[in-house]
Structure 1
Amino acid sequence: MGHSEHEPGATIIEFPAHCAAGPLRRGSDGVLRYGDLSPALTELLDLRVHAFTGREAVVEVGGPRLTYRELWHSAARIAGGLQTHGIGYGDRVAVHMPTSVRWVQAFLGALLSGAVPVLVPDALPAAVAARVIADSCADFVLGPDGPLPDGTAFIDDGAALDDPALLCYTGTAARQPVPAGVELSNENLLSAVSSVVGALGLPADGLRNLVLLPLAHASGCVDQLLPTFAVGGTVVLAPTARDLADVLITERIDTVSATPRIFAGLLPELAVRRAGSAVRRISKACHRSERAAAAAPATLTAALRELFPAARQWSVWGATETSGIGLMVDDTDLADTGSTLGFAFGGTELALSGPEATAGRGELLCRGPNVSRRYWNDPTASRTRFSGTWFHTGDLVSIDADGLVRAEPRRVSGL
């Protein structure tokens, strides 16, 4: 452990990174950064389209099925249609619709137009969604009704790593009149993608990922959709949870991604049908806004192990401000999961702040190439939560000598 001054009178205890090998190098600001990133997310995706042209990119159960070529072409036409409406580089385009192939087309269309997509969760109450759209100062809204913009295929490829690439709102509507908008740059997104692909060892031989997470959240979009595309895999979307046992078979699913709560709700059907023999990976997204402890309960892990005996299971903890990632634990054989959050992975580094920090207990701070630098249009909140290179999570945790992070029973006062 080391220590550094966070602000006058406040000392933080930094924990050494265990991940500085490979493509990660420490920048002049002290943050670990990937040295092999594409200049922008659009370029990475464009390369994958040309490499996996005929593969299925996205499938909606009971709906459309698009190859990489078809998805890219339809998104480019949406981008061209947005251009005819005056949308271009740096504008904000709200994507407000249910998870579907149409959502993916709209999201990529906004991205290819040069605009910054604004993710508006479909589950938000109408009044809150309206406030989010207004807060984002959206220049255009892609909604669930009516045709999407259409025009001559267009791709704006002039973005850079530091440019904003996504505006994603946190799920704190209960505590704030408007959830906080988090600015994520191309570097944040590409770093998160590289971290997930590397840490989970995602293969490039035709991964088929059943994503049951909402795409309008960082955990669904940044940590599942984009990494699957990065390895030329297929994202399978199920608008309803009905007949998922059949979906596992008919869609040849080898990876399933959901929250522990979603998995728990699926257990009765899956236990009756016993259709999970081909599943090799189970990813549990544990967002910090949902509950303090991240890793799935041991009873759920055991039940999933019985249903999917060949599958590796892991829990990924993160916040919108960290691009949805930060900590991970392989819980296949983990006995005590009650308060486990996980180990830092990718370029994420950790620190503790508070009077007990030297004893391994305090507020969890994160930094890394995946961590946002500020909130949208809220300098006061940005100064409070982002200090130097560190993001204050507001979560009280303990970190042991091996770097394992566990949640403590309360949050830090005032956050």
Structure 2
Amino acid sequence: MSQLLVEFPLTGPLVRNNLLARGADGVLRYGNLTPALTELLDLQMHAFATREAVVEVGGPRLTYRQLWHSASRIAGGLQEQGIGYGDRVAIAMPSGVAWVQAFLGALLSGAVPVLMCHGETEPVAARVLADSRADLVLGRTGAEVELPDGAAYIDDGASLGDLALLCYTSGAATPKGVELTNENLLSAVRSVVAALDLPTDGLRNLVLLPLAQAGGCVDQLLPTFAVGGTVVLARKVCDVAEALSAERVDMVSATPQIFAGLLPALAGLRADGLRTEAVARISKAVHRAECAAAPAIPVDLTIELHGLFPAARQWSVWGATETSGIGLAVDDAERAADRRDSVLGFPFGGTELALCGPHATAGSGELLCRGPSVTPRYWNDPAMTAARFTGTWFHTGDQVTIDADGLVRRERVSVE
């Protein structure tokens, strides 16, 4: 894509360059990452062995030691079925403890997990399976999934540049496969932990985002594991109230649409028999509320969430599958003061911004970004890669403005 680009200085309250250095390709990169995602997870699983790693409301709950042991046995079972380094294993299951076990098992086997949204239409699911050339599918049988089992196995031979995860874009009739490397995933994890200042003293994150998307898997599940926290999963809206009251949740993660749908249920907690003081305790316990804001979260919703979780610091994080789900973030106290629904946020995690278009020099045009979390290419689609990239710059398709202080606001959403 040969067009004039106007690069913007990397500014804003979330810019922290002390851990980043510019590579030969011009992209800012972290210099102290582990060689592979599996190595980081291995370290954390042993460091926090007795803590709860994942809890499914009304279902199983596993410590880090139990999760790692079960995942390594799944990896061994996959190996016995002939799955090895670079093979694709599609995860077509609902979000839950079994999904997490299957995902980690595929990683530990040396395979590349292919994320598939549970309940996807048959034509879209068939396209994803055909395009990814999946060697094995876990799920989609309509019955309880029996995960592979074998002697414990861990493949730790991957490197930063190796393909680690295959994600498919959502919201389009023809989803595109996005290659995410170990470096992409590790950089996204490092960036989220730093930007949201995630604590290491026992975070309990109620993740309502689908794990089959980058926002749920890369930006919530993996960063929570990176700080030794607990991922709490609720399959049904009615489980959310139970999770908040029984699981000591102190962080909630969702999309604007999910939060908007939950507000009536959460506001009606008293009707479910909870005492007023119990409701107040739940409200005060949540210290972080993170919204995957694509499109931008409405200001009115921000204010309603603050009323429900008055002690919580609210964040909106913007990203695309191609950027590992991250790139821009904003503290919603600033958004509420701004009073405009169009705010997307400031760059973070080494994400640099550029604009393309006739008004780019004036701060208006198509948003481009590059950084350590941006995919190097689309899977099996060199034509799409050429169309959406100018060198290392990814064309998001979003029309935005960029202020002098680095704040990005959406003008309109392009239609693919």
TM-score, normalised to structure 1's length? 0.93
Q: Distance in 2 between matches of 1:123 and 1:388?
A: 36
Q: 1:323-362 maps to which residues of 2 (within 5 A)?
A: 323-335=324-336, 336-362=339-365
1:113 to 92, 109, 116: 109
* Identical positions, percent: 69
Q: Is 2:9 the partner of 1:16? A: yes
CA contact (8 A) 2:17 2:350 kept: no
Does the alignment pair 1:411 with 2:414? yes
For 1:322, give the aligned amino acid. Answer: T
* SS of 1:276 mapped into structure 2: helix
Q: Counterpart amino acid of 1:285?
A: A
The amino acid of 1:22's aligned partner reads: N
Corresponding residue for residue 283 of structure 1: 290
Partner of 2:169: 170
Could you say what the CA RMSD is over the residues aligned between the two structures, in angstroms?
1.3
C-alpha displacement of 1:224: 0.2
Matched with 1:364 is 367
1:256 aligns with 2:252: yes
Amino acid of the structure 2 residue aligned with 1:254 = D
Quick one: distance in 2 between partners of 1:298 and 1:396?
A: 20
Who is 1:395 aligned against? Answer: 398
Compare 274-283 and 49-58 and name the one that shifted more: 274-283
In 2, Cα distance between equivalents of 1:248 and 1:328? 25
1:147 aligns with 2:146: yes
1:309 alignment counterpart: 310
Q: Provide the C-alpha distance between the structure 2 equivalents of 1:89 and 1:217, rounded to a whole number of angstroms.
A: 23
Tell me whether 299-308 or 62-71 shows the greater mean CA deviation: 299-308
User: Structure 1's 172 and 297: CA in aligned 2 closer, same or farther, altered over 3 A?
Assistant: closer
Q: Quick check: 1:59–1:65 contact (8 Å CA) kept in 2?
A: yes
- Please tell me whether residue 237 in structure 1 is matched to residue 233 in structure 2: yes
Q: CA deviation at 1:58?
A: 0.2
* d(CA) in 1 for partners of 2:239, 2:147: 30
Asked if the contact 1:40–1:187 (Cα under 8 Å) also holds between the matched residues in 2, the reply is: yes
Q: Find 1:377's aligned residue among 380, 400, 412.
A: 380
- Equivalent positions of 1:62-211 (< 5 A) are 62-144=58-140, 145=143, 146-174=145-173, 176=174, 179-211=175-207
CA distance in 2, matches of 1:411, 1:128: 22
Displacement after TM superposition at 1:127 (Å): 2.3
Q: For 2:291 and 2:30, locate their aligned partners in 1 and report how far apart those are by CA, in whole Å.
A: 25
SS in 1 for 2:285: coil
SS at match of 1:47: helix
> How far did 1:243 drift?
4.3
* Matched residue, 2:276: none
Q: Answer yes or no: is the 8 Å Cα contact 1:20–1:32 preserved in 2.
A: no
CA distance in 2, matches of 1:350, 1:285: 19
Q: Which has the higher contact order (CA 8 A, sep 6+)?
A: 2
Range with greater deviation from structure 2 (374-383 or 327-336):
327-336
CA deviations over 1:281-323 (Å, ceiling 9, x no partner): 0000123xxx4xx1x2121111111111110001000000000
4+ residue segments displaced more than 3 Å: none
Local SS of the residue matching 1:87: coil
Work out the number of aligned pairs and report it.
397
* Secondary structure of the corresponding residue to residue 277 of structure 1: helix
Q: Is the 8 A contact 1:40 1:186 kept in 2?
A: yes
Per mean C-alpha deviation after superposition, the further-off stretch among 20-29 and 41-50 is 20-29
